[in-house]
């Protein structure tokens, strides 16, 4: 990176530190930036402007969220073969991988795992299942599980349970589910390159159903699948009308047997820059470092938490391990953040 400035972006916008400050001030006043302005920010290559972008994103984060960060944990409640062909996923029936295979876990098994997480101080627990949709028997069992968790823990219960109908969204909320995850993964244009068994509109439809039923939304994407910077910005603007309470940022962890097993690693600074610009676009969302962050960001995780992110999924993911709760507590401290109580 050079230290020259001002820097003309591809959009024609000439970026200076003063302009970044102006954009930040606009966000603090409750206003918005345009897609072209977001593209100008994501194309920053200059070191000084990169630093200004990060500090500005942190100011926005502290303004809307104070210095509290949200940690949540998840359980891979069903890891069976999935009929979808998402090119990044080891659980697809279309790919030969070494992922564990098992049917939906019993409610009491999930409760035991939830209590362990609660005893560590984690306040949010997410149930995750493979597959496009649960069958009727599985869905009823998930409802029973949610009720059991609400009865025997003080945890916020979230879910990532495939595609929904309005009725299922309503019943999940009535059972006590607080938030539902349905990631868009990338832009509409890029999505068809990584998934062919369902459409982008199918994912948007589930978000629409959740919004109609008043369920909190969790939706984000994966960086490093071969998408462009423009794809990353388009993802954020697709999400913007939905105002997701939580925006998870996953970083591709190339897995043997999947079509993306040879995908090149994305530069950690590119990840951090994307997170910072997302903070400008979606200032009120909790931006969570999620799957792949340990390998994708390495020693830059705390920097990402100082540049727009304000949360993490802790204790591992669906088919990969991750940082321990203690390691993530240390990361929060390094980033100058405190764990949120709610």
User: Is 72 marked as a binding-site residue?
Assistant: no
| DSSP per residue, 31-81 | ----HHHHHHHHT---HHHHHHHHHHHHHHHHHHHTTEEEEEEEEEEEB--
Q: Give the span between the Cα atoms of 168 and 40, in whole angstroms.
A: 41
User: Is 126 marked as a binding-site residue?
Assistant: yes
Closest C-alpha to 313, from 71, 3, 65:
71
User: Is 218 marked as a binding-site residue?
Assistant: yes
Q: Beta strand 14-15 with 7-8: parallel, antiparallel or unpaired?
A: antiparallel
Write down the H helix ranges in the chain: 17-28, 35-42, 47-65, 107-119, 136-152, 166-175, 188-194, 200-212, 229-239, 268-281, 293-297, 301-305, 325-335
Buried b (16+ CB within 10 A) or exposed e, 140-159: ebbbebbbbbbeebebbbbb
User: How many helices (H) and strands (E) are present in the chain, helices listed first?
Assistant: 13, 12
Half-sphere exposure of 49 (CA within 13 A, CB side): 24
Query: What is the distance of C-alpha 142 from the center of its chain?
Result: 22
User: Is 82 marked as a binding-site residue?
Assistant: yes
3-class DSSP assignment, residue 334: helix
Binding residues are 82, 86, 89, 126, 218, 288
Binding residues for [2Fe-2S] cluster are 126, 218, 288
Binding residues for [4Fe-4S] cluster are 82, 86, 89
């Amino acid at each position: 990176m050079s230290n020259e400035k001002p820097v003309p972006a591809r959009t024609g916008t000439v970026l200076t530190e003063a302009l970044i400050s102006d954009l930040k001030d606009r966000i603090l006043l409750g206003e918005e930036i345009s897609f072209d302005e977001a593209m100008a920010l994501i194309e920053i290559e200059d070191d000084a402007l990169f630093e200004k972008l990060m500090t500005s994103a942190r100011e926005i984060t502290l303004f809307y969220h104070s210095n509290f960060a949200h940690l949540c944990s998840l359980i891979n409640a069903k890891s069976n073969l999935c009929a979808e062909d998402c090119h990044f996923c080891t659980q697809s029936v279309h790919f030969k991988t070494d992922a564990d295979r098992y049917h939906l876990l019993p409610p009491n098994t999930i409760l035991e795992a939830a209590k362990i997480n609660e005893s560590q101080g984690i306040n949010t627990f997410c149930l995750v299942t493979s597959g496009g949709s649960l069958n009727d028997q599985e869905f009823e069992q998930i409802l029973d599980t949610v009720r059991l968790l609400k009865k025997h823990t003080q945890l916020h219960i979230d879910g990532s349970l495939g595609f929904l109908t309005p009725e299922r969204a309503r019943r999940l909320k009535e059972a006590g589910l607080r938030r539902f995850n349905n990631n868009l993964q990338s832009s509409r244009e890029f999505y068809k390159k990584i998934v062919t068994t369902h459409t982008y509109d199918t994912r948007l439809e589930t978000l629409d159903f959740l919004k109609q039923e008043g369920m909190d939304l969790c939706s984000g994407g994966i960086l490093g699948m071969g998408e462009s910077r423009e794809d990353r910005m388009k993802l954020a603007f697709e999400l913007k009308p939905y105002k997701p309470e939580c925006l998870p940022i996953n970083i591709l962890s190339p897995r043997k047997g999947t079509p993306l097993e040879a995908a090149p690693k994305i530069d950690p600074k590119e990840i951090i820059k994307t997170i910072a610009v997302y903070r400008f676009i979606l200032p009120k969302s909790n931006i969570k470092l999620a799957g792949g962050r340990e390998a994708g960001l390495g020693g830059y995780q705390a920097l990402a938490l100082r540049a727009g992110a304000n949360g993490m999924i802790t204790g591992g993911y669906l088919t990969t391990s991750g940082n321990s709760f203690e390691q993530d507590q240390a990361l929060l401290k390094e980033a100058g953040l405190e764990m949120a109580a709610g």
